[in-house]
């Protein structure tokens, strides 16, 4: 899988460099503190998956303009804005192996710089001059905030259903991926069927990406994860591996799992037991399968387009999303 | 002055009713919690000054459409979003005599519902279908977040200059007033000179409104103010009455004032002394004069328009902004 990542990176090296430049060129704050805080979250080794998907989708839709990289920053800025706000909501300590912004600069600054990044994303969307694009972006931000609130409301509830989980991750993650791809079709003036295809690709990628992300919490150690192992559970965030296992478990095991979930400071021993139970009841496997189904759907929608290098990269990225270890 | 308020209210009663309905009709969250938190801040006796200015500006620019009330909600939603985030930043306890949202529902919910309100405002802006309108709104949200951050960075600094204060209140308050008025001209397809006139009216109203607001902290008691007296100073927020008095004071009095400012838990006795010093060095008077100058400018810009009932209301509101006691 390392080879797949290396292969993708070699194919998109030039795009990633240009995205990196656009991210730093389009921030434009007048206060140094805003650059510092935004930079802390923006330039901390993010994968640039959202802008990259936007640039590649635009290309597969035949976009020939010069603004794809600039518009792609919208999705990284919005993403960074939600990370700043989420870290505060989640009470996490680490993000990508670094202390979270609110632990360095305080909650207030993190909130306000998040607001600034959100506003920057929307300003750049407005610069497209296309009301449809702006409507989509504004809708995404509505969805993302409500997805986060929904997750927050249901924190620590062992009766969270799979349907609710799907609704939460759709709003908090998949709509942004979907939007990045849809907007690329809009700026390329692509036909409806191409817009639909890239949108579906993005949506399914987003769903799979979030499931894979949620799995990492149960399959990696802290060093590789860049945050505390079991952090989701400590924050009361129930994800698909747990939801499924809770549903499948016999009464006894279900009670044991619920006891661990309820105790926010569970010892490492309990966490290991929980992982064994997730495996026993197929929670890990089921989540992998669900993510894989979304990835298959994502790749299938690309068949609307003729075979090309760009299509191949989009397929590779789909495969990578499923197998990534960081 | 009570008579002026009553007179204005009788002249805009129908508009205010329709604004109130639009505010509740256009929120559209799918989660009850979002309605509750947004409702707590939105329906707590706000003056609806921003939407009202938008509706009246549209009218004076000859707008004949049916969407002025809907579009006017943008400015109340953005305003409410910043209140939710600011209360958290400021660490205040009361807002309009009620506990602040973050003290009831926690910081996380307040942040996320603020994000939702921001997004709703931008979605409604997108619904105008006018890229220019959307650009202005997105620009406003950038300015507001940076104004707040600027204020935050300079908290407790006795060397804050009048110029910096003006820059902060321009961004955090005046751009929203200005935008509400400018956008009304855009949706009315008004000529450039009318757009410029209402924009300047809005800008000057916003500057004066914030100065008058900052004055209330030194001229009212808690009951009338709806929050703690001296709260600005306790939060380290230096406003024009203090900035001016610090500049004018002799060395001895300056040191006394700085000592009070530095001590975040100053007793009532010290606060009274401070107010005496503000009066002695003309800080209160100077701020009143500055606000008055902006109001005069605001009223002067309206002379572009023929005399009308709408122009009269806008003039009355300008006078009221200066004299208000709540």
Q: Which residue has the tokens 């329906």?
A: B43
ipTM of the complex in this document: 0.91
CB contact, 8 Å: B89 with chain A?
Answer: yes
What is the tens place of the pLDDT at every residue in B127-166?
Answer: 888 889 999 999 999 999 999 999 999 998 999 999 999 9
CB contact, 8 Å: B152 with chain A?
Answer: yes
- Smallest Cβ–Cβ distance between B30 and the set A34, A85, A146 belongs to A146
Contact list, A87 vs chain B (CB under 8 Å): none
The pLDDT assigned to A225 comes to 56
The answer on pLDDT for A228 being more than 80 is: no
pTM: 0.93
Please indicate whether, in this complex, the C-beta atoms of B131 and A135 are within 8 angstroms of each other. Answer: no
- Are the C-beta atoms of residues B173 and B247 closer than 8 Å to each other? no
Q: Between these two residues, B240 and B1, which has the higher pLDDT value?
A: B240
Contact list, A111 vs chain B (CB under 8 Å): 85, 88-89, 111, 114
- Are the C-beta atoms of residues B201 and B215 closer than 8 Å to each other? no
How far, in Å, CA of A215 to CA of A218, rounded?
A: 6
Contact list, A134 vs chain B (CB under 8 Å): 122, 125-126, 131, 134
For an interface test with B, which of A115, A136, A139 has the most B Cβ atoms less than 10 Å from its Cβ?
A115
Q: Where are the domains of chain A?
A: 2-323
Q: Between residues 18 and 57 of chain A, which touch chain B (CB distance below 8 Å)?
A: 29-31, 33-34
What is the tens place of the pLDDT at every residue in A151-210?
Answer: 999 998 999 999 999 999 999 999 999 999 999 999 999 999 999 999 999 999 999 999
Q: Between these two residues, B117 and A106, which has the higher pLDDT value?
A: B117
pLDDT band at A227; cut points 50, 70, 90: low
The pLDDT assigned to A77 comes to 97
CATH number at B2-323: 1.10.600.10
Q: Is B176 exposed, middle or buried (0-12, 13-18, 19+ CB in 10 A)?
A: buried
CB contact, 8 Å: A135 with chain B?
Answer: yes
Q: How many CB pairs under 8 A join A and B?
A: 142
The pLDDT assigned to B224 comes to 61
Q: How far is B155 from chain A (nearest CA, A)?
A: 12
């Amino acid at each position: 899988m390392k080879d797949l990542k290396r292969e993708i990176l070699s194919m998109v090296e030039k795009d990633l460099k240009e995205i990196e430049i656009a991210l730093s060129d389009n921030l434009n704050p007048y206060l140094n503190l805003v650059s510092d805080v935004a930079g802390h979250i923006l330039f901390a080794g993010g994968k640039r998956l959202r802008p990259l998907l936007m640039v590649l989708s635009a290309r597969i839709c035949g976009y020939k303009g010069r603004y794809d990289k600039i518009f792609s920053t919208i999705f990284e800025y919005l993403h960074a804005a939600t990370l700043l706000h989420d870290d505060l909501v989640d009470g996490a300590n680490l993000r990508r192996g670094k202390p979270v912004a609110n632990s360095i600069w305080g909650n207030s600054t993190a909130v306000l710089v998040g607001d600034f990044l959100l506003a920057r994303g929307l300003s750049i969307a407005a610069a497209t001059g296309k009301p449809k694009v702006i409507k989509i972006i504004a809708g995404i931000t509505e969805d993302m905030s409500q997805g986060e609130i929904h997750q927050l409301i249901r924190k620590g509830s062992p009766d969270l259903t799979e349907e609710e989980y799907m609704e939460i991750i759709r709003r908090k993650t998949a709509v942004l991926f979907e939007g990045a791809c849809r907007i690329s079709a809009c700026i390329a003036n692509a036909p409806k069927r191409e817009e639909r295809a890239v949108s579906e690709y993005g949506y399914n990628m987003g769903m799979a990406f979030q499931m894979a992300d949620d799995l990492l919490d149960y399959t990696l150690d802290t060093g590789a994860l860049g945050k505390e192992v079991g952090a989701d559970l400590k924050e009361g965030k129930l994800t698909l591996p747990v939801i499924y296992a809770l549903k499948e478990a016999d009464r006894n095991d279900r009670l044991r799992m619920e006891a661990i979930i309820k105790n926010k400071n569970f010892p490492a021993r309990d966490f290991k037991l929980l992982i064994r139970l997730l495996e026993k009841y197929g929670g890990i496997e089921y989540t992998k399968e669900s993510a894989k189904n979304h990835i298959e759907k994502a790749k299938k929608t690309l068949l609307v387009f003729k075979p090309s290098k760009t299509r191949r990269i989009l397929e590779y990225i789909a495969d990578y999303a499923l197998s990534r270890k960081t």
